[in-house]
Amino acid sequence: MSEVIATNQTILVVGGGISGMSAALEAAECGKQVILVEKNPSIGGRVSQLYKYFPKLCHPKCGLEINLRRIKANRGLRVMTMTEVTNIEGEAGNYSVTLKTAPRYVNENCTACGACADAVEAEFDDEHNYGLGKRKGAYLPFNQAYPERYVLDPAIIGTDDGEKAKAACKFDAIDLDMGESESTITVGAIIWATGWRPYDAGRIQPYGYDRFPNVITSVEFERMADPHGPTGGKLLRPSDGQEAKNIAFIQCAGSRDRNHLAHCSRICCMASLKQSTYLRERYGDDAKGTIYYIDIRAIDRIDDFHQMVKQDPNIRFVKSKVASITENKENSNPVLHGVDTEGYHRYSNEHDLVVLAIGMEPSVPANGFPMEVVLNEEGFVELDEKNGAFFAAGCSADALDVNRAVQSATAGALRAIQVVNKVAGAEG
Ligand SMILES: Cc1cc2nc3c(=O)[nH]c(=O)nc-3n(C[C@H](O)[C@H](O)[C@H](O)COP(=O)(O)OP(=O)(O)OC[C@H]3O[C@@H](n4cnc5c(N)ncnc54)[C@H](O)[C@@H]3O)c2cc1C
């Protein structure tokens, strides 16, 4: 940590998702010195957990790969993983920032050979798969992780597993004595790109996410659909491991609801439309999808995608806010209850699996910022001059799709560059 060279002409980017990566690259490729800090062991953020991107249905892995290549090639950009900002003091053009880095217990000698993972026994819920599968106590966060370096779970330090991991490593890469470190750096501007987290589905009581195993969230469904995910791409019911061919997608799960998130999360309609194509891709004519929606929010080329899905005879649209879900005790099928607002008739529809299009909320709660920041009512960072040179990018500014998140990141980079250029100009 002590080798961090940062000055008031340096830009700090906090959060290594697609927005933070984009902002960092834009600034670094303009010749600025950039430090990118990420709290997780790898950068990539939540897009690394998606199977495909709407509207093109391409794999996010391609875009990530291009960004990673650009990051590796840029000497003005330093990536620090497992690092968080604990304090910020100062003003635009001159901030003093305290960073805290958690121990990885694996140093740069790591070749990602995986011998440590083979040696340890303890398993933990796999965060990358939203807990749908397990990972070892020594692990690579996901197959495209950067840095491509293993990490030891702190829970195995001081146990036999920790020693086994160390003994298995031929490259002297495991350091069980590694500790937390802290440093203070100076930067001129800060781009805050800490992104979003899924709204807690358990709080939407009538949908029974915590009670019924076959009610899952849209983020879990992304992992299930991914051939590299916990089910090898099979859409399996958590209750019995049977394939789910008749799937309901419920829109606005937590969003546009004063009891939960008042805002529209913007991407959920498109996420469900996209996920209905996963179902068709996997089970062809046997697939039956039903989308329960209030209204579909899709414009421009995104509406073309909506129209394409609407043409599909195997995907049904029901205009209704689902009132509640119960469970058929005999087969664990979720049963959806509500009123179809087009025909005004009541329904009780049974499905194999229900996917809640869960809303997006800021990943950092209002009281979790390391300095005073102006936020809007939903907790997203405002563009406000009181925030000085602290600029939000991507989903820390609003619930956005990737296209808009990257635009927001470019705007954040430009604002930060303007600040550090001014500093440079003033210092001659
Ligand atoms: C079900 C679903 C499907 C989706 N599908 C699509 C799609 O097909 N196409 C599309 O365009 N969009 C899609 N989206 C939206 C997409 O996921 C977001 O646009 C994207 O993740 C935004 O990236 P971000 O970098 O702003 O945030 P994130 O991806 O959340 O990245 C933020 C990063 O910051 C890190 N971080 C958080 N807090 C801290 C901290 N305190 N210190 C340091 N680091 C921190 C996180 O670990 C993370 O790496 C989907 C969303 C959902 C819910």
Residue with tokens 């390391």: 370
Q: How far is the CA of 103 from the centre of ligand 1 (A)?
A: 24
Residue 89 maps to a domain: yes
Question: 155 and 203 in one domain?
Answer: no
Residue 258 maps to a domain: yes
**Sign of the torsion formed by the C-alpha atoms of 241, 245, 246 and 252:** positive
Atom of ligand 1 nearest to the CA of 221: 1
**Which residues, in sequence order, are CB contacts of 222 under 8 Å at separation 6+?**
49, 50, 51, 229, 275
Q: Name the token pair of 96.
A: 């003093």
Residue 352 maps to a domain: yes
- Of 360, 387, 416, the residue at which a domain comes to its end is 360
Question: 309 and 204 in one domain?
Answer: yes
DSSP classification of residue 53: B
The CA–CA distances, whole Å, from 348 to 83, 314, 338, 339 equal 49, 19, 7, 9
Question: 132 and 261 in one domain?
Answer: no
**311 in Cβ contact with 301 (< 8 Å):** no
Residues 399-419: what's their mean pLDDT?
Answer: 97
* Structural domain of 261: 199-360
Residue with tokens 């330093």: 78
Our answer on whether the CB atom of 39 is closer than 6 Å to any ligand 1 atom is yes
User: Each residue of 146-198: pLDDT tens digit?
Assistant: 999 999 999 999 999 999 999 999 999 999 999 999 999 999 999 999 999 99
| Residue bearing the bigger pLDDT, 7 or 24 | 24
Length of the chain: 428
**98 in Cβ contact with 425 (< 8 Å):** no
Question: 410 and 266 in one domain?
Answer: no
Q: How far is the CA of 394 from the centre of ligand 1 (A)?
A: 8
Residues 412-428: what's their mean pLDDT?
Answer: 93
**Cβ-based burial of 337 (10 A; exposed 0-12, middle 13-18, buried ≥19):** middle
Residue 65 maps to a domain: yes
pLDDT band at 301 (very low <50, low <70, confident <90, very high): confident
pLDDT at 3 over 50: no
pLDDT at 360 over 80: yes
**150 in Cβ contact with 140 (< 8 Å):** yes
State which of 25, 85, 402, 404 you would mutate to test the pocket of ligand 1, scoring each by most atoms of that ligand within 8 A of its C-beta.
Answer: 402
Residues 91-98: what's their mean pLDDT?
Answer: 98
Our answer on whether the CB atom of 48 is closer than 6 Å to any ligand 1 atom is no
Atom of ligand 1 nearest to the CA of 364: 38
Separation of alpha carbons 138 and 156, rounded Å: 8
Q: What's the mean per-residue pLDDT of the chain?
A: 95
**Which residues, in sequence order, are CB contacts of 333 under 8 Å at separation 6+?**
214, 327, 350, 351, 352
User: Each residue of 102-129: pLDDT tens digit?
Assistant: 999 999 999 999 999 999 999 999 999 9
Question: 44 and 187 in one domain?
Answer: yes
Question: 237 and 122 in one domain?
Answer: no
- pTM metric for this prediction: 0.96
Residue 1: per-residue pLDDT: 38
Number of domains, the chain: 3
Question: 388 and 352 in one domain?
Answer: no
Our answer on whether the CB atom of 99 is closer than 6 Å to any ligand 1 atom is no
- Of 360, 385, 407, the residue at which a domain comes to its end is 360
Q: Name the token pair of 263.
A: 């805002």
pLDDT band at 4 (very low <50, low <70, confident <90, very high): very low
**138 in Cβ contact with 178 (< 8 Å):** no
Our answer on whether the CB atom of 196 is closer than 6 Å to any ligand 1 atom is yes
Residue 382 sits in a domain of what CATH number? Answer: 3.50.50.60
Residue 173 maps to a domain: no
Separation of alpha carbons 388 and 398, rounded Å: 19
